[in-house]
Amino acid sequence: MASVPQAPQFGLFSLPPIKNEPMRNYEPKSEDRIKLQQAVDEMIAAGPFEVPVVINGEKIKTGKVAQQPNPSNHSHILCNYHEADEALVQKAIEGSLKAKTAWENMPWNDRAAIFLKAADLIASKYRYKVLAATMLGQGKNVWQAEIDAAAEICDFFRFSAKYIQELYSTQPPECSANTWNRTEYRPLEGFVLAVSPFNFLAIAAGNLICAPAMTGNVVVWKPSPMSIYSNYVAYEILREAGLPDGVIQFVPGPAPEIVGAAINHREFAGLHFTGSTHVFRQLWKQIGNNLDKYRGYPRIVGETGGKNFHMVHKSANVDAAVTQSIRAAFEYQGQKCSALSRLYVPKSMWEGEFKQKLLDQIAQISVGPVQEFKHFMGPVIAKHSFEKIMGLIEAAKKEGGEVLCGGQGDDSKGWYVQPTVIETKDPKSVTMVNEIFGPVITVYAYPDEEFEQTCELIDSTTEYALTGSIFSADRYALIRASNLLRNASGMMYYNDKCTGAVVGQQPFGGARASGTNDKAGSISIFYRFVSARTIKETTIDPATHIYPSNLE
Ligand SMILES: NC(=O)c1ccc[n+]([C@@H]2O[C@H](COP(=O)([O-])OP(=O)(O)OC[C@H]3O[C@@H](n4cnc5c(N)ncnc54)[C@H](O)[C@@H]3O)[C@@H](O)[C@H]2O)c1
Ligand SMILES: N[C@@H](CCC=O)C(=O)O
């Protein structure tokens, strides 16, 4: 157990300049390309790796082992990981509560320094290793891995420091005579449970665990079984950067058991979740049922599913709308929560040139294993995803949807699904409504004169409200659609694709069934993991209890 540091801080420190991590290109024959290819090849040859549970800094090999396959080639096992059980969750919680006093007493600049160092380590010494682990484990091609596991994760660490500094500086604007008002932003009492999705390392390690930890909370982290290895690599980097024992406990294992044990604990203070809507709803209900058990009211933060749209107006630039739609729908095989899933195009434009241009560009997309850098698309994450996606394509066909391209999958070596476009005459058909999380878009060619009615249709088609875009060269149409679609998404793009939010630039989150919209990548999220205490100090004592108004 670390002793409680009470280091004096003789200065109000500024942070080093905070900027987005520059993206690298990995063009053929570049040094980055050669070194990354080497890291990928070495990782394939050296695996499978062994990943322990980590509690209080101790690496625990439970002997109950599960596997994370490489989705590009599922006979290749990337890692074997040890699973925790309920007893280890109790140990993790107790250990984190013991680590809490020292952690929350650590001066803010020292806490920040750990995460700033982790960002610098990822950006330099470990860049290729983190990228290789993300490519092989999560089926990302180089560019998608660079977005996530180099740029966004560093951005989360660095911008979080900036936002917390801003939060701590947010103080009451007024003090009456002879008083001093102050606000301190205490961490929550108890521990925070972080439950992360497979698809973004940055969301898991950069946001879900670090937003609470950086504000002084202790965290029990249950990573996704489909991204264990990259998550563990990032965790080890945080440890190398100086994260003390017990502050973040790494607890992989069977989800209902691990999460259930944490949620049932009296000291449960908050859930930081990203994943599917149905799991989040289930957890919220479990928490609600436990309310009498807890010390306080747990904070519940969850970003969940999407059914994202592009709305194209007749004035739009067709080439731009086509290209942006392809990127939004098929990058990372449609496995971004923000991925395009519903495309609305005026009928005359669709039949005129949009449809043909879309199909011509999609025909050039290559799909293949991520270690072959040339492919625009890789595999989907797992067998169950492959089956769900293929099942939804079949369901769309049964409802009369016409498959214009793709519709085929091959799971013999890896889980590959071809980029698929379905045209529907029924704007509320199955693939217009349900989240697919795969490389499939459904197009509805709307009557040219029904632009406004189609906006209302978009708004009322699904329960989700995550991301959406409007393509229009006509500013009046843009404004009209934006007003009609005000509540249809938490992220609205004008003449841009509906994916690709950047920390520090486009705070991310959706509403309705898509989440609590606490906007990761902005100051807002940090308010959820602190419990402010207001302090008023009086310097001059009153002489009497009588007020002037009491005088005759
Ligand atoms: N809105 C966002 O910011 C955002 C970002 C990324 C992903 N997502 C969403 O995440 C989903 C894809 O990720 P996923 O497949 O990892 O999601 P998921 O819901 O299957 O899993 C998320 C986490 O919950 C855990 N989990 C699963 N079942 C559980 C249960 N019964 N009890 C407790 N925990 C359980 C998983 O093990 C994992 O750690 C999509 O719906 C996507 O839209 C949303
Ligand atoms: N922030 C990412 C999406 C993360 C969800 O999976 C984007 O905007 O594309």
**Residue 118 and residue 238 in contact, taking contact as beta carbons nearer than 8 Å:** yes
Separation of 361 CA from ligand 2 center, angstroms? 23
Write out pLDDT tens, residues 469-502.
999 999 999 999 999 999 999 999 999 999 999 9
CB of 203 closer than 8 Å to CB of 503: no
The mean per-residue pLDDT over the stretch 405-429 comes to 98
Closest C-alpha to ligand 2, atom 1: 501
Q: What is the location of CATH 3.40.309.10 in the chain?
A: 308-494
Q: Which ligand lies nearest to the CA atom of residue 198 in the structure?
A: 1
Mutate to test the pocket of ligand 1, among 198, 338, 388 (most ligand atoms within 8 A of CB): 198
Q: How far apart are the first and last CA of the chain?
A: 64
Active-site residue, 303 included:
yes
Share of the chain above pLDDT 70, in %: 99
Does 228 contact ligand 1 (Cβ within 6 A)? no
Report the largest interatomic distance among the alpha carbons of the chain, rounded to a whole angstrom: 95
CA-nearest residue for atom 34, ligand 1, is 255
Residues linked to residue 422 through DSSP beta bridges, in sequence order: 403, 442
As a whole number, mean pLDDT of residues 63-85 equals 98
- Over the stretch 368-394, which tens digit does the pLDDT of each residue have? 999 999 999 999 999 999 999 999 999
Please tell me whether the overall predicted TM-score, pTM, comes out greater than 0.95 for this model: yes
**What is the per-residue DSSP string for 161-194?**
HHHHHHHHH---S---TTEEEEEEEEEPSSEEEE
CB-CB neighbours of 494 under 10 Å:
13
pLDDT for 157 equals 98
The CATH number corresponding to 31-304+515-535 among 3.50.50.60, 3.40.605.10, 1.10.10.60, 3.20.20.70 equals 3.40.605.10
The chain-wide mean pLDDT, for the chain, equals 97
Q: List residues bridging with 346 in a β-sheet.
A: 446
**Would you call the peptide bond into 254 cis, given omega within 30 degrees of 0 as the criterion?**
no
Residue 9, both tokens: 């801080």
Q: What is the DSSP string of 389-407?
A: HHHHHHHHHHTT-EEEE--
* CATH superfamily for domain 308-494: Aldehyde Dehydrogenase; Chain A, domain 2 (3.40.309.10)
**Best mutation site among 279, 336, 434, 512 for ligand 1, i.e. most ligand atoms within 8 A of its Cβ?**
279
pLDDT above 90 for 437: yes
Smallest-distance ligand from the CA of 498: 2
* pLDDT in the model for residue 6: 61
Closest ligand to Cα 152: 2
Mean pLDDT score, 425-431: 98
Round to whole Å and give the CA distance between 519 and 303: 9
Distance CA 463, CA 488 (A): 9
Pocket of ligand 1 contains residue 332 by CB under 6 Å: no
Ligand 1: residue whose CA is nearest its atom 12 = 275
Residue-wise pLDDT for 153-194, tens only, equals: 999 999 999 999 999 999 999 999 999 999 999 999 999 999
* Ligand 1 pocket residue status of 406, Cβ below 6 Å: no
pLDDT band for position 284 (50/70/90)?
very high
Which of 140, 257, 273, 337 maximizes ligand 1 atoms within 8 Å of its Cβ, making it the mutation to test the pocket?
337
Q: Of all protein residues, whose CA lies closest to atom 44 belonging to ligand 1?
A: 304
Shortest CA distance to 110 belongs to which of 2, 244, 237, 236? 244
- Tens-place pLDDT, residues 108-121: 999 999 999 999 99
pLDDT band (50, 70, 90) for residue 1: very low
Question: Contacts by 474-478 with C-beta closer than 8 Å and gap 24+?
Answer: 474/313, 474/315, 477/313, 477/315, 477/451, 478/313
Of 67, 64, 112, the closest CA to residue 210 belongs to 112
pLDDT exceeds cutoff 70 at 139: yes
Would you place residue 9 in the very low, low, confident or very high pLDDT band (cuts 50, 70, 90)? confident
ipTM: 0.99
CA of 275 to the centre of ligand 1 (A): 2
What would the two tokens of residue 324 be?
């942006």
AA identity, residue 242: G
Give distance in angstroms: CA of 507 to centre of ligand 1.
Answer: 20
Q: How far is CA 333 from CA 73, 254, 409, in A?
A: 16, 26, 12
If you average pLDDT over residues 451-459, what whole number do you get?
Answer: 98
Domain with CATH 3.40.605.10 in the chain: 31-304+515-535
pLDDT tier at 25 (50, 70, 90 boundaries)? very high
CB under 6 Å to ligand 2: residues? 199-200, 336-338, 499-501, 508
DSSP 492-551: EEESS-S----TTTS-B--EETTB----BTSTHHHHTTEEEEEEEEE-S--S-S--GGG-
Q: Residue 5's pLDDT is what?
A: 53
Residue to substitute in 274, 280, 392, 524 for testing ligand 1 pocket (most ligand atoms within 8 angstroms of CB): 274
236 phi and psi, to 5 degrees? -65, -35
pLDDT one-digit tens code per residue, 304-315:
999 999 999 999
Contacts of 89 (CB under 8 A, 6+ apart): 220, 251, 253, 257, 258, 261, 262
Which long-range CB contacts under 8 A does 241-244 form with residues at least 24 apart? 241/114, 241/115, 241/117, 241/118, 241/121, 242/113, 242/114, 242/117, 243/114, 243/118, 243/213, 244/2, 244/57, 244/99, 244/102, 244/103
Query: What is the structure's pLDDT at 82?
Result: 98
Strands 49-51 and 73-82: parallel
What is the atom index within ligand 2 of the atom nearest the CA of 501? 8
> Which pLDDT does position 4 carry in this prediction?
54
Q: Is the CB of 51 under 6 A from ligand 1?
A: no
Structure tokens at 118: 């982790």
Set 303, 331, 423, 435: catalytic member: 303
Instruction: Report whether 437 contacts 335 (CB < 8 A).
Output: yes
